[in-house]
Each structure stands twice: as C-alpha cells, then as structure tokens.
Amino acid sequence: MQITLEHVDDLARGAAILGTGGGGDPYIGSLMLRQALQDGHRVDLVDVESLGDDDFAVPFAMMGAPTVIVEKIPNGAEMVAALRTTERYVGEKAKAVLCAEIGGLNALLPLVLGARCGLPVVDGDGMGRAFPQLQMITYNIFGVPAAPMIMADEYSNTVLIESDHALEVERLGRNMVVAMGGATNICLYPMHGRDAKRSMVRGTISLALGLGRTIREARRASNDPFVRLLEYLRTTPYYQHCRVLFEGKTVDLLRETKNGWAMGEVVLEGTGGCLGRRCTVRFQNEHLVAREGERVLAIVPDLIAILDAATAEPITTEALKYGQRVAVVGISAAPIMRSPEALAVFGPQAFGLEDPFVPLERISV
C-alpha cells in the first residue's frame, strides 16, 4: 500500500500505543513524514515476502532518551547519512528500509527515510513494540549480527561500531549516544531478504495504522474508544489478549534521564471502579511492569500502554504529568517475543526485575 497524508495521524497514534510509552514522541515523526509527503516524496509499504532473498535491507531507528528527542528534533539529513554510510561500508545498495521497533517515533522515521531515499519500507519490525536496548530485538534472537552499526548526529557526523556481540554494540553505542548529545540516528542489523523473512514481526506498521484509525473512528461516532480498541486487538494475529488493567489519576511521578534512558515510575490513584486502589508503573523508556501493591498486573515483554481515560489517546513517558486521568491497558506480545530464547534477552530479568514473566492471559483479574 501507499502511505498518504490521511494515514499519518492514525499511524502516529497506533505507534504510540505499541511503543508502550517509549520509542520517542510520535508527533515529531508525524511532522517529518507529513513534510516528506507534502514535498512530493512517495512512501510504499511492502510485504516482507516481496523482498528477494539477496535484497539488501537496512533497519533504521533513533537511539537515546525520549526526553532528549523531544528537544533535539532531527532534521532528516542525518538519517540519510547513516544509510549511505552503511551502504558504503557494506558495499551494497539498500533495496528496502526496515523498522527496528514499531513504537512511537521509531515507527515513523523509517518511512521518512524511505521517502527521502526512494526506497520501500517493509511492513513489520523487530519487536512488535519498543525496547530500550539494541540487543532486545528479534533480529538478534534469530542470529542477525547487530554490526556494523552506523550512528549519525545532527551534523551528519558518523560513527561506525563493529563487534561480533550485540551486547557490546549496545554498550559502546550507549556511551557514544551520550557523547552525541543524548540522541542519535542509527542503522544496524543490516541484512538480506532471507533474514528479514525469518526474523521479522510481520504486519506491525499496518497494525499501528489500524489501531489509530479505530480510535479516531470510535471518537467520531461517539463510541467508547476503549471498547473499540480492545475489539480491534482481538481480531489481530498476535495481540488478542488485552484488557484495561487500571483506571486512575497520576499522583506521583519520578522521571530522570540517566545513561541515555528515561527512567522512573508513575503512581496512579484509582478512580471509577478502581477507587481506593493504587497502581505503580515502572519504566525504562518503555513501561516494564504494572503493579497494584505487590500484585503484578502485566509485565514485559507484554505491552503496557497508558492512555488518556476519556479519549484513549496514548501518553508517552515524557508526556506523563501530575493530575492526568488515565487508563492502563495490557496487551499480549507476539508469540515470537515470548519464546525462552526471547525472554532470556528481553524478559523481566533482563531489566533487573525479580518477578517472573507470566503471560497477561494467565494473570487473574
């Protein structure tokens, strides 16, 4: 399909839900995508099966703290510099752009890059959500090397990181992103079509578009957007298990930018059917675990989204404020994200959480 101006707001809204609080502010990405389309560029979204096995494809994302990205808006030239440097180093011309993570800003910027370079964007990503570290991706789980990784700052300065280990790419890249001002553009996990076909979480850009459209149409028809959102998710291949976990008002918020991440927790005081109860959501760029007291309501890698209680508009970690009335929604992760191999890389213990992973559908209401 071709992405047009009428798709941009819906795509940004859906990507923010799948971003589970992180991935960067999608509003910035929507402005950049809208500008690219208004400038006459074309954005084609293609199925991964349309790639030839030997077609060279490059995932793109922004790396850094979402709180920094809000203030340090990319200009677009740096993403092209990252891609062109990758092509020169590998010695192949890209035939398509891939999405590293479907969350927030990082769902939209690959479309901007594809538009600026005349390349199609593959419908899918490596997470089915957003994660804060580079090794936390299905491309890594399926053995695609993270390096070479190219980082480009707002001046189009580029840095190459080469390593056989994804954890080392993350460690070195995290130190470099701090030196580059807290946020940078990256091309990593370069691969060929055969690798994309076996390692990608498929159809997630289309899913984000559908989520955003569903909420918009529900509000326009004066329907309950939460009811329509959950109904839509239950028709999807990955995200059928979903529910509202908690409704409340933000009464406390700890958020700090540390080591290139936005880290902290938000405390909610129950409203409506949750009156007299409290919920705490901990985050590291993305929401990691929602608890009511000591009881876990949902935990990574399942998705935890915080939405405006009236409109179901998603709220990112950098947009959380005292006094907001919100609903916390839990959504099951794609099966590829729940395998033992995947949980070893981005399960609760990878974030220092003591709680074991329990699928959302097995947690009692």
Q: What is the 3-state secondary structure (H, E, C) of 250-299?
A: EEEEEEEEECCEEEEEEEEEECHHHCCCEEEEEEECEEEEEEECCEEEEE
pLDDT for res 256: 87
- Cα separation, 129 vs 293, in Å, equals 26
CA dist list (Å): 353 to 93, 243, 282, 299, 306? 42, 23, 10, 10, 20
How does residue 141 score in pLDDT terms, banded at 50, 70 and 90?
very high
The C-alpha atoms of residue 59 and residue 110 are separated, in whole angstroms, by 8
Per-residue pLDDT at 8 exceeds 90: yes
| Of 142, 156, 153, residue with least CA distance to 189 | 142
CB 159 within 8 A of CB 85: no
Average pLDDT over residues 105-126: 96
- Label residue 115 by pLDDT band (50, 70, 90): very high
pLDDT on residue 353: 94
Q: Is the pLDDT of residue 365 over 90?
A: no
Is the per-residue pLDDT at 237 higher than 90?
no
Q: Average pLDDT for residues 213-227, to the nearest whole number? A: 97
Start-to-end CA distance of the chain, whole Å, equals 39
Walk me through the domains of the chain, giving residue ranges and CATH numbers. Answer: 2-202 (3.40.1610.10), 238-355 (2.40.390.10)
Mean pLDDT computed over 150-169? 96
Residues 239/240/245/247 CA torsion (nearest 10 deg): 90
pLDDT at residue 81 in the model = 97
Q: Is the pLDDT of residue 258 over 80?
A: no
Mean pLDDT for 61-87 is 87
pLDDT at 257 > cutoff 90: no
| Confidence bin at 285 (pLDDT 50/70/90) | confident
- Lowest mean pLDDT across 27-41, 55-69, 217-231: 55-69
Q: Using pLDDT thresholds of 50, 70 and 90, give the confidence band for residue 59.
A: very high
- Determine the pLDDT at residue 73: 80
Tell me the average pLDDT across 336-349.
Answer: 94
**CA 355/CA 28 separation, integer angstroms:** 35
What pLDDT shows up at residue 182? 86
Whether pLDDT at 248 is above 80 = yes
Distance CA 251, CA 19 (A): 23
Percent of the chain with pLDDT over 90: 85
pLDDT at position 28 is 87
Model confidence pLDDT, tens digit, residues 163-208: 999 999 999 999 999 899 888 999 999 999 999 999 999 999 999 9
Tokens standing for residue 111: 């479309």
- Mean pLDDT rounded to a whole number for the chain: 94
